[in-house]
Amino acid sequence: MTRLLVECTHVFKHPTVNSGIQRVVRNVINQLPASADGVECMPVVVLNGELYRVLQLAPLNTPFYNALETFGGRLERLAHRFWQWHQKRDAQCTSKLARRILYVGYRLTVFAAFGVPIRLIRRINRTQLLKRCSPLQHQPGDQLVLLDSSWHSDLFAHVEQLKRDGVGVIAVIYDLIPLTHPQFYDTRLVEVFSEWFAWITRTADGYMAISATVRDQVREELQRRIGGEQTDKRWFDFFHLGSELDLHTTEATVEPRLKQLFTTPEPVFLMVSTIEPRKNHAYLLDAFERAWVAGSTARLCIAGRVGWKCEALLTRVRNHPELNTRLFMFNDLSDTSLEHAYAHASALVFPSFVEGFGLPLVEAMQRGLPAMGSDIAVFREIGGEFMAYFDLQNSQSLADLIIGFQRSGQFPAARDVADWQWIGWREASQQLAERSVRNVLEAPMAPARQHAHCP
């Protein structure tokens, strides 16, 4: 093994996005160790079909070039989708003549519609690009860790070439939810993710999940797709995520309306997530409405950007009789404001149907904020006896927890969150690097570790 190359292309191109995966990528890259078990580690990006070592993840203050780079990225993603379409059609052709015609048509379209404008944009942006990264020559034995959301990228063909040149490929898997619960997503995202996972099933040598729960799901999915013999040729492991809010600064101010929310004595229950169907905000409203009818004065604070398939939920919130009285919603909180909310809320509530990890749980609990979560396997893995769990089939289950906690002042978990400890992003990044290196180097594969705190 030569070097561990940790890929962060999408975040490099879109550094201002701060939702789940982007937060993970940014923190892992910023905390990436220089080496793991004697193997050099470095952040890399795949841009314009070339490999670069990242010198600066944060963007330069050049609005024109940033806008041009964004446009170029969209054009390249469109070209990548066209490449995927061609690959499918080529595989379906049985006639050599038909394949030749398809190939010629593909090449002409690529040249006219994508090739010329993309090359021009690349040339303009190259001077700015080289201030943030430098060209890197791959070597046989390098291991490319696909940390970022590579289903959004156009790097498939380049990764395949790297693999032919002797570079190993490690896929980081955040979850399989678009495959297992496609109803929560738009059709196009499900298609893109499905194509990506089919590709990564063929391409990756090993898989690093963000929880033991997801690791086991990935192994089972590969066994279903390619059989036990081929699955046994791959390795599977996991690392856990950190808990710091890296964009929090003491200079920034807290959202005034949020700050006002915590100046009265009634308890505030905090929900932090993108607003989309999988997060189950409707269940949350049902539970709090039951609690309010029963006389609870608890308040619900929903914090998260507006996502997809949530029009009915947003209408319900905006027309709710308790809005800005016992129900509050914030769609654009900074990390500084979120830190304030974690510090002053009474509890976190997290009713997701399914998760790959549940980052707000560790963010809250590491700050001493107790958490109530849906009774799903990954939450049990993370929270153990330190969390309170409710039944997603019955919103009264959560309402009872809310009412009981307010009346007794005793959080309904078996163990006190004050005794709970978790890792930070430095340890998370180190886990990813060290476990990747060990799985590549060791034979037979090291036994799977069950907890985040294992060395």
Distance separating alpha carbons of residues 379 and 387, to the nearest angstrom: 8
Distance separating alpha carbons of residues 166 and 88, to the nearest angstrom: 26
Of 32-46, 144-158, 235-249, 435-449, where does mean pLDDT reach its minimum? 435-449
Confidence of residue 246 (pLDDT cuts 50, 70, 90): low
What's the pTM value of the predicted model, to 2 decimals? 0.80
Token code pair at residue 29? 């890259």
Q: How confident is the model at residue 222, as a pLDDT? A: 97
Nearest to 21 by CA among 36, 11, 9, 7: 11
415 with 431, same domain: the answer is no
Query: Does 230 map to a domain?
Result: yes
169 with 195, same domain: the answer is yes
Distance separating alpha carbons of residues 298 and 289, to the nearest angstrom: 10
Give 279's contacts (C-beta < 8 A, 6+ positions apart). 271, 273, 304, 351, 352, 353
Q: How confident is the model at residue 313, as a pLDDT? A: 96
Q: Is a pLDDT exceeding 90 seen at residue 442?
A: no
Q: Is a pLDDT exceeding 70 seen at residue 247?
A: no
Distance separating alpha carbons of residues 391 and 43, to the nearest angstrom: 42
Name the most confidently modeled range: 52-56, 92-96, 243-247, 326-330.
326-330
Query: Does 70 map to a domain?
Result: no
Confidence of residue 68 (pLDDT cuts 50, 70, 90): low
147 with 265, same domain: the answer is no
Query: Does 94 map to a domain?
Result: no
Mean predicted lDDT score pLDDT of the chain? 88
Q: How confident is the model at residue 245, as a pLDDT? A: 76
294 with 378, same domain: the answer is yes
Distance separating alpha carbons of residues 114 and 184, to the nearest angstrom: 32
Q: How confident is the model at residue 215, as a pLDDT? A: 97
435 with 407, same domain: the answer is no
Q: Is a pLDDT exceeding 70 seen at residue 445?
A: no
Q: Is a pLDDT exceeding 60 seen at residue 451?
A: no
384 with 412, same domain: the answer is yes
Query: Does 83 map to a domain?
Result: no
Domain that holds residue 37: 3-59+132-242+427-441
235 with 348, same domain: the answer is no
300 with 193, same domain: the answer is no
What's the pLDDT tens digit per position in 192-229?
999 999 999 999 999 999 999 999 999 999 999 999 99
Q: Tokens 């982007």: give the residue.
A: 22
224 with 370, same domain: the answer is no
CA-CA-CA-CA torsion sign (403, 407, 413, 419): positive
Number of domains observed in the structure of the chain: 2
Q: How confident is the model at residue 450, as a pLDDT? A: 42
Of 66-75, 269-278, 408-417, where does mean pLDDT reach its minimum? 66-75
Give 92's contacts (C-beta < 8 A, 6+ positions apart). none
Query: Does 147 map to a domain?
Result: yes
Q: How confident is the model at residue 408, as a pLDDT? A: 95
CATH number for the domain harbouring residue 268: 3.40.50.2000
Averaged over 157-169, what is the pLDDT? Answer: 94
362-367 contacts at long range (C-beta below 8 A, 24 or more positions apart): 362/240, 362/241, 362/242, 362/243, 362/422, 363/243, 363/245, 363/272, 364/270, 364/272, 365/417, 365/420, 365/422, 366/243, 366/420, 366/421, 366/422, 367/243, 367/342, 367/343
Query: Does 275 map to a domain?
Result: yes
160 with 180, same domain: the answer is yes
Query: Does 331 map to a domain?
Result: yes
CATH number for the domain harbouring residue 212: 3.40.50
Nearest to 377 by CA among 359, 395, 396, 354: 354
Q: Is a pLDDT exceeding 60 seen at residue 253?
A: yes
Query: Does 88 map to a domain?
Result: no
Of 112-126, 129-143, 332-346, 398-412, where does mean pLDDT reach its minimum? 112-126
280 with 370, same domain: the answer is yes
Amino acid identity, position 379: F
Q: Is a pLDDT exceeding 90 seen at residue 33?
A: yes
Burial annotation 349-388 (CB, 10 A radius, 16+ → b, else e): bbbbbbbbbbbbbbbbbbbebbbbbbebebbebbbeebbb
313 with 343, same domain: the answer is yes
Higher-scoring residue by pLDDT: 372, 149: 372
Percent of the chain predicted with pLDDT > 70: 85
